[in-house]
Amino acid sequence: MSQPSIRIVEVGPRDGLQNEQTLVPTRTKIELIDRLAATGLRTVEATAFVHPKWVPQMADATEVMAGLDPRPGVSYPVLVPNLQGLERALAAGAREVAVFTAASEAFNLKNTNASIADSLERFRPVLARAVEAGVAVRGYVSTVLGCPYQGDVPVADVVGVATALHEMGCYEVSLGDTIGVGTPRKAAALLVAVASQVPMAALAVHFHDTWGQALANILACVEAGVRVVDSSVAGLGGCPYARGATGNVATEDVVYMLDGLGLETGVDLEALAQVGGWISAELDRTSQSRAGRALLARAGSAG
At 2-60, the pLDDT tens digits run: 567 999 999 999 999 998 889 999 999 999 999 999 999 999 999 999 999 989 999 99
Among 152, 234, 150, 220, smallest CA distance to 192 is for: 220
Please give the order of strands across the beta sheet that includes 43-44.
Answer: 43-44, 7-10, 228-231, 203-207, 172-177, 136-142, 96-102, 78-79, 47-48
Are the beta carbons of 186 and 144 closer than 8 angstroms? no
Are the beta carbons of 47 and 13 closer than 8 angstroms? yes
Instruction: Tell me what percent of the residues of the chain surpass a pLDDT of 90.
Output: 86
172 to 48, 143, 227, 230, 284: CA distances (angstroms): 18, 17, 11, 12, 34
What's the confidence (pLDDT) of residue 19?
85
240 to 38, 54, 223: CA distances (angstroms): 30, 10, 31
141 bridge partner residues: 101, 175
Q: How many CB atoms lie within 10 A of CB 257?
A: 18
What's the confidence (pLDDT) of residue 298?
45
Please state whether beta strands 78-79 and 96-102 pair in parallel, antiparallel, or not at all (unpaired): parallel
Distance separating alpha carbons of residues 104 and 146, to the nearest angstrom: 8
Active site residues: 239
Q: How confident is the model at residue 288 (pLDDT cuts 50, 70, 90)?
A: confident
Among 112, 116, 75, smallest CA distance to 94 is for: 75
154 to 17, 101, 111: CA distances (angstroms): 30, 15, 19
Please state whether beta strands 78-79 and 47-48 pair in parallel, antiparallel, or not at all (unpaired): parallel
pLDDT in tens, 259-275: 999 999 999 999 999 99
Note the pTM of the prediction, 2 decimals: 0.92
The architecture of the domain spanning 35-302 is: Alpha-Beta Barrel (3.20)
Mean pLDDT for the stretch of residues 148-165: 97
Q: How confident is the model at residue 246 (pLDDT cuts 50, 70, 90)?
A: low
16 to 59, 268, 291: CA distances (angstroms): 15, 20, 21
pLDDT in tens, 90-147: 999 999 999 999 999 999 998 888 899 999 999 999 999 999 999 999 999 999 999 9
CA dihedral 53, 55, 59, 65 (to 10 degrees): -150
**What angle in degrees, to the nearest 10, is found between the helix axes of 269-302 and 251-260?**
160
What is the chain's mean pLDDT, rounded? 92
Query: Quick one: DSSP state of residue 7?
Result: E
At 130, the amino acid letter reads A
Distance separating alpha carbons of residues 291 and 140, to the nearest angstrom: 35
